[in-house]
Structure 1
Amino acid sequence: MAIPKLTVLKDAAFQEQSVAGSAYDALVVVFTDAARLTSSNMPFTKAIQAVAAVDPSVGQQVSLLYNETVPGGRLVTCPTGSLNDDTDDVRKFSAACRAATARAHQSGARRVLYYFLDPPQDLPGYEKWLEVSLLGIFAESYITLVVRRHQELTKQQRVGDRLDEIAFFANTPNVSTDSLNETTRSVLAIEKGRRVHLDMGYGDPEQMTPLNCAQYIQDTLASHPNLRVTVLTDLATIGIEYPLLHAVARASILVPRHRPCVVTIEYTPSDPSAVREHAYLVGKGVTYDTGGIDLKTGGAMRGMSRDKLGATSVAGVMAAIAELAPSHLRVTAELAFVRNSIGADGYLSDEVLYSRTGKRVLIGNTDAEGRLIMTDLLSQCRERVLAQRTTDPRPVHYHIYTVATLTGHVIRAYGHYGAFLSNGPAVRAGVPDRLIQAGERWGDPYEQSRLRPDDFAKVAPGSDREDVCQTDHMASSATARGHQYPAAYLIIAAGLKPHGNAAKPEEQVCYTHVDIAGSAEEAHSQGMSLCNLTGNPVPSLTAALLDL
């Protein structure tokens, strides 16, 4: 996986490279105040002043100007717009840098120098403005694996990113070189993780079957010294260990390339004795969701190759964490890859299935398969947390997350934002605060939902024939609390209900469910194409786990 070179320039180096004839072929000036842009003492200022005299929009929108004093003769002005209105946030930097990068590339530039003229100083919510800016640049430079494979197949001259090198100078005299170097290290690690997520996420149902997803993870991550990747493909074992996942996969098993698998990725620091936190991440990886026997109709099946983004984003988080190599944290990821196909052996509404815990689950709709394939993996993580507490006397904090493109309701409720719900022990441990703060700092804001008695009442058994109801027959977007009550189902079916606030401290288990159905995709598509992917929640979830 090739990532463009990222270079930090000091003041003297920037002065040398920001003129014509340097190693770069475009200069992008990022600014928040147009007055600062036209009053600076840089060589290109007069050219901007001349244009601004006849076209004030040069300070209000991305513009490409020819100027013989700058690299390649290409000068791109990049205004962020306001930063302190009531609804402004750090995404202003990402959006501006993406637009400027697209314009520079459109003009033929491949080695671009960025000058951050007047960064925000001590403005709340903008602590990671530089990281978010650089991630925006990388996002615009990224070429999907689908296209890279096409480039190789058609023997195109260039294979890979739109940019070859990204260099930047930040006008921040009080920030040390060491701090800037640490920034680039974090950005490169998160960008590597984000590209793992996007490479798989963009793959169509045949390019990224369950087994192909597993193979990609093995090829990309297994060689990392701090990661251990294992893949379970044996159907008999899956049926015993993860009976609900196996039930969802029943209709796909007759097609060998569509068969399910479970991928486990374990990050262990070089000194395990230093571990003070152990996070478990469970990812939903439905590589195509037909809806099963409760078939998606009316065009609702379109885009369902993206129903694997929970699992692919968790794989990306693991790649980023391995690069950053925290000493205090251990992370175990369990990824369920399965295709929800239609077939004679498909699981059915009205079936009662047994979960790993022995709970009897009444199926209400086969299109609510995501919560099923995560249930037994979540239960397994619960078992491991309780077992590790028994065998390891150290004060290690354990927390479990499920990450999924789970419901249309979360989009109906919040638009294109992620949402999460935490159980009582997780709330007391401050997990929601970590997610909220990380999302705000890294440009992937979350909405916090709450578990209510209504959610548990919704999935409660109505007869002695079941222990928990999976869902009703209606789409989540047409159901009250449609993204909240699935968390209650998961808590009951996975055996977490006895491990809430009422349990003894040593028996409590922190659990948070993250629904990324809204935040994983951009809000709009181009023409009849599928929406582009955002790369979220890799930056925010990585930052939350590492307190970045």
Structure 2
Amino acid sequence: MSVRIQPIQFTTDCKDQNFDGIILITQNYEQLPNELECLKAPLQDYSAVDCCIKDEVVVLRVPGLPGNRLVCSCTGPVNRDYDDVRRFRDAAANGIKRALKAGLQRPLLVCPPNSSYAKNTLVAVLGALHVLYVPLEVREHKSSPHKVATLGIWVKNKEQGDGIIELANALESGRFVYRDIGGSDPERMAAPRVAEYVQSVFKDSPVKVTVVSNLNTLEKEYPCLAAVNRCANAVPRHQARVIKLQYCGEGPIEQTLMLVGKGITYDTGGADIKAGGIMAGMHGDKCGSAAVAGFFQILAKLKPKHLKVVGAMAMVRNSVGSDCYVADELVVSRAGRRIRVGNTDAEGRMVMVDLLCEMKEQALQEVSPHLFTIATLTGHAIRAMGPKYSIIMDNGAARRAGNDLEWQKAGEVLGDLFEVSTIRREDYEFHKGKSEYEDILQANNLPSSATPRGHQTPAAFLIMASGLDQHGVDSAKPQPYSHIDIAGSSGPFPGVPTGAPILAMAAKYLKL
């Protein structure tokens, strides 16, 4: 499986006749740089008869420009207290949608640099590329894998063009893999087929892939994951896979990232079934694992030095049937903690917790390790922060290092935004066993959206059930750990996954 993203190329000439139309992304066409002076007069003329030019995408006929067409998509204000670089992304997305309707096949995206946002042109390119993505199932049944022949990018000089092309290709390649896995339907990306896809993508790359499929191994090494898999395991095409990835950059390793992704290929809710029409869209419950694979694809393209990254994708279907796990069951985690199941729809924390424990064990041998879980985990994350923001929660060691605020700042570079939440003592109390039978309660009997602190408590559960609570700031060997909930930011249903949070990860760890 080759990753064939939308072809892109740059030009320093806005009148380059290799293209068939211009898409202008700007805050104010009156303040265009000298190189784009030819675009100003037609826009001034148009604005004299239509004042909506600043609020709507418009198409003008301008002789002399590529294809005699100019699509103008204004960002609106970008310098108010609450503005951010997403203005450029959104304007580019709207512009490319209008260009497609106008029939452009070789559009030239023109987004002049902005003094307040160092990466605004790159962000605009990524916004256009998001619209141009063709879903995997569509590509497999159409002769053409792309919506346009090429996407052009106007730049001031070759150096800028080379840099944007390299980064755009790498970042979009990662989002491409993310969307293929996270957005495809639960049969096309059932766990065994995800494993096949990942192995194909990283063949002959710097990323090493190992797949664990043996049921006895899963039951022994990852008992909580095996409990969720128990029902699906009866159907061979739905059987669980643990996909492990490793990248090791050149030179002495200075930092090690250890990522665990939730990969629920379909979430019925299990015995606590998602009733009332809320099951639709649950094929997207694998976007945490999709993010892990997508970030490794960026690593494979950019090949950063001095960085080691270890990943684990927990690919499991939460099926319902006579052999499904149920509330009241006791499951002993890899860390030896007795867990009382409270709600089978809280399966995401179950499939990740033993892999997190394994990472914790391995971290003791790594250089400057930081552990992460990435998951579309809770509806509460959407209720608390809205549908477009990732949430990061640090344990004590990570928080003392200022990690959460660094992630938030990194996310602002490319418009992959974060809100910061804090794990409190009440979250740990919530998950303490309620009887002498169990050490830990997995969940209560309510949806997370109806549970106070519904997105914070699962982080405490993961820390407790994995044994990470033995590596807090009061221990001899503290281990930094962060839980990232992307339930809101991973994308809409129906719709195409966004790629969150891999742009923020790239901005932070690859120093973009």
- TM-score when normalising by structure 1: 0.90
1:403 is paired with a residue of what secondary structure?
Answer: strand
What is the 5 A alignment of 1:492-531? Answer: 492-504=464-476, 507-522=477-492, 530-531=494-495
**Residues 102-113 of structure 1 mapped to structure 2, 5 A cutoff:** 102-113=97-108
1:38·1:45 contact (CA, 8 Å) conserved in 2? no
Counterpart in the other structure of 1:427: 399
Counterpart-to-counterpart distance in 2, 1:218 and 1:109: 36
1:543 matched to 2:507: yes
Kindly report which structure 2 residues correspond to 1:435-514, keeping only aligned pairs within 5 A, or say none: 435-504=407-476, 507-514=477-484
Output aligned runs, 1:138-217, within 5 Å. 138-151=129-142, 156=143, 159-170=144-155, 177-217=158-198
Cα distance change of structure 1 residues 494 and 480 upon mapping to structure 2, 3 Å threshold: same
- What is the DSSP-based 3-state SS (H/G/I as helix, E as strand, rest coil) of the residue aligned with 1:43? helix
**How many equivalent pairs are there?**
509
Deviation of 1:355 (Å): 0.4
Determine which of 397, 411, 417 is the counterpart of 2:382: 411
What residue is the counterpart of 2:119 in the other structure?
128
2: CA distance, partners of 1:261 / 1:60 = 48
Shift in Å, 1:36: 2.6
Tell me the distance in 2 between the aligned counterparts of 1:336 and 1:15. Answer: 47
Distance in 2, matches of 1:179 and 1:433, equals 29
- Offset at 1:37? 5.5
2:290 aligns to what?
312
Q: Which deviations, in whole Å up to 9, do the C-alpha atoms of 1:284-335 show, x marking residues without a partner?
A: 0000111111111111111111111100111001101111111111101101
Q: What is the CA–CA distance in structure 2 between the aligned matches of 1:146 and 1:544, rounded to whole Å?
A: 32
- Pairwise CA RMSD of aligned residues? 1.7
The alpha-carbon deviation at position 539 of structure 1 amounts to 1.0
For the residue of structure 1 that corresponds to 2:263, the secondary structure is: strand
Unaligned runs of 5+ in 1: 390-395
Residue 3 in 1 paired to residue 10 in 2?
Answer: no
Describe the SS at the equivalent of 1:436: helix
- Sort the Cα spacing of 1:312 and 1:41 in 2 relative to 1 into closer, same or farther, 3 A: closer
Q: Is the 8 A contact 2:231 2:325 kept in 1?
A: yes
Residues 250 and 304 in structure 2, CA contact (< 8 A), matched pair in contact too: no
Q: Is the 8 A contact 1:434 1:547 kept in 2?
A: no
In structure 2, which of residues 67, 74, 92 is the aligned counterpart of residue 72 of structure 1? 67
Shift of 1:40: 8.3
Q: Deviations over 1:451-499 (max 9, x none)?
A: 1000000001122211111011111000000000000000010010010
Contact 1:38 1:48 in 2 (8 A): no
- Could you tell me whether the CA contact under 8 Å between 1:208 and 1:287 is conserved in 2? yes
What 5-or-longer segments of structure 2 have no aligned partner?
A: none
Q: 1:433 and 1:6 mapped to 2: Cα distance?
A: 34
Cα separation, 1, equivalents of 2:263 and 2:296: 15
**Is contact 1:356–1:376 with CA below 8 Å preserved after alignment?**
yes
Distance in 1 of aligned mates of 2:56 and 2:242: 47
Correspondence for 2:234? 254
Residue 435 of structure 1 contacts residue 446 of structure 1 at CA under 8 Å; is this kept in 2? yes
**Within-5 A mapping of 1:221-240:** 221-224=202-205, 226-240=206-220
Paired-residue identity, %: 38
**TM-score using structure 2 length:** 0.96
Q: CA deviation at 1:177?
A: 4.2
TM-superposed deviation, 1:59: 3.8
Deviation of 1:536 after TM superposition, in Å, equals 1.6
Cα deviation 1:244-294 (Å, max 9, x = unaligned): 0001010111111010010001111244xx210010000000001111111
* Separation (CA, whole Å) in 1 of partners of 2:361 and 2:139: 41
Letter in 2 for 1:520: S
